[in-house]
Structure 1
Amino acid sequence: MDLSTNWEYVADTVMGGVSRGQATRETVDGRNATRLTGNVSLDNNGGFVQIAFDLAGGDDFDGSAYAGITFDVRGNGATYDLRVRTRALDRPWQSFRTNFEAPAEWTTVCVPFKALVPHRTDATFDPATLRRIGILAVGQEMQADIAVSSIALYR
């Protein structure tokens, strides 16, 4: 299921951090993509820049017929996070997550739901209550540069 979407940009400045970046729509190596660029700083308890989108307008999206998330990325060789939120999570720091590398050539990443690890929650991942998906440069001083040309759920 294709999740073609309008990504939104979010940074740690919402919590007092000083990381800076942007999300742009552009052609990257022949593909239309959303590109996240920026400088991640750990100063002032910060540490992330992100692109994310809400599923079903922020209401529950039933992904129980699917096995995971797949997306095409091209980056700067750094490690990034995929984070997923469900109805069970009510704090902004909670998520189900995994990391992945974004090499300098277009690559398809497939993340099975079972690979998502709960972070700062005791909740169990339930794909029937998907709410939000994000891709982050997080947790270390770095220059973010990652492009996403497609994202979908796979069976």
Structure 2
Amino acid sequence: MNLNPAWEYVADNVMGGVSNGGMRQETYQSRKAAILYGNLSLDNNGGFIQIASDLNSDGTAFDASMWTGLELDVSGNSDRYDIRLRTDQLTKPWESFRTEFTATPDWQTLRIPFGTFTSHKTEAIFDPTQLRRIGILAIGRKFHAEVAVAGVRLYRI
């Protein structure tokens, strides 16, 4: 099932950090993509930039229980990035279900089963019936981020 994320850019400056960057929609290596780019700083307790999108435009939960996981078409600067999922189970902004990937210079299609996402700062176990938001993050260290996302889908085996 193809998803059409309405990506929005968020940076650590919402919490006092000083990382900078942005998101742009353009052709990246011959494919239309959303590109997250910027420079991460750990100053002022910072250290992240992200693009994120709710699955439903009204912000309500989406029942993804019929699918096995996420499939993403990504490319980038050979650095590590996070994929974070949020569900209605989570109440605090630092809680998430997460995994990481490397954005290689060549386009790749990643298949990430829901079962590989780990709980972060929550006791909750991922419930696909309550999936609300997907985020792609550059986080945790000083570096230049550049990751392009050309497609996001739910898949099932």
What TM-score comes out, normalization by structure 2 length?
Answer: 0.97
Matches of 1:119 and 1:58, distance apart in 2: 21
Matches of 1:47 and 1:115, distance apart in 2: 24
Matches of 1:152 and 1:97, distance apart in 2: 17
Q: Which residue is 2:11 aligned to? A: 11
Q: Give the aligned residue type for 1:3.
A: L
1:117 aligns with 2:113: no
Matches of 2:74 and 2:112, distance apart in 1: 13
Give the deviation of 1:126 after TM superposition.
0.2
Map 1:137-152 to 2 at 5 A. 137-152=138-153
Matches of 2:69 and 2:42, distance apart in 1: 31
Q: Which residue is 1:65 aligned to? A: 66
Matches of 1:151 and 1:41, distance apart in 2: 28
Where do 5+ consecutive residues of structure 1 fail to align? none
Give the deviation of 1:55 after TM superposition.
1.2
The alignment of Structure 1 onto Structure 2 pairs a total of residues equal to 155
Give the deviation of 1:4 after TM superposition.
1.3
Give the deviation of 1:6 after TM superposition.
1.6
1:32 aligns with 2:32: yes
Q: Which residue is 1:21 aligned to? A: 21
CA RMSD of aligned residues (A): 0.6
- Secondary structure of 1:58's match? coil
- Name whichever of 2-11 and 112-121 sits farther off: 2-11
1:49 aligns with 2:49: yes
Matches of 2:52 and 2:110, distance apart in 1: 17
**8 Å contact from structure 2 (residues 6, 54) kept in 1:** no
Where do 5+ consecutive residues of structure 2 fail to align? none
